[in-house]
Homo-oligomer: A and B are copies of this chain.
Amino acid sequence: MAYQTVRSWDPELVPTPAGRGARPDEACPVEVALRVISGRWSTLLIRELLHGPLSYGAFRKRLPTLTDKVLTDRLAELRGHGIVERQITRGFPSRVTYQLTPRGEALRPLMIELYRTGEALLA
């Protein structure tokens, strides 16, 4: 009979089997969360939207060095993840605004924790 060391999972760190894979896994909750906030500029867009809805042009004013292509890419990605939605108001001029969905608002505690952890690492 051979011995083996069985590792028990910390139930606070890894409460469900979904986080116990032996390889990168789309369904792992940690990766799900990371995927929606990952990508250059993503956290900046989320930060802006956590303060309220913005138009395309308002993004460009607040983040002047962000190019159209990347802004469009990121907004599409965030919309694809159900984090952001686009509101079009018809009329002259027709107004387009982006805002967080309830799913998007759910990112706030994570953003706060990221900030906190980053500050701790800097100290």
Tell me the A63-90 residues at the B interface (CB within 8 Å): 63-66, 81
Listed in ascending order, the chain A residues whose CB lies under 8 Å from chain B are: 7, 9-10, 12-16, 18-19, 21-24, 27-34, 36-38, 40-41, 43-44, 47, 50-52, 62-66, 81, 103, 106-122
CA–CA, A23 and B29, complex, Å:
28
For A104, give the chain B residue with the smallest CB separation.
B121
Of the candidates A10, A106, A113, the one having the most CB atoms from chain B within 10 angstroms of its own CB is: A113
8 Å CB contact of A10 from B15, B50, B122: B50
Residues of B within 8 A of A30 (CB): 43, 47, 111, 114-115, 118
CA–CA, A6 and B92, complex, Å:
25
| CB–CB A29/B113 < 8 A | no
For A103, give the chain B residue with the smallest CB separation.
B121
Give the distance to chain B from A52, nearest Cβ to Cβ, in Å. 8
| CB–CB B117/A65 < 8 A | no
11 contacts between A and B (CB under 8 A): A7-B51, A13-B112, A18-B119, A29-B119, A29-B121, A32-B121, A33-B115, A34-B38, A34-B43, A38-B38, A106-B117
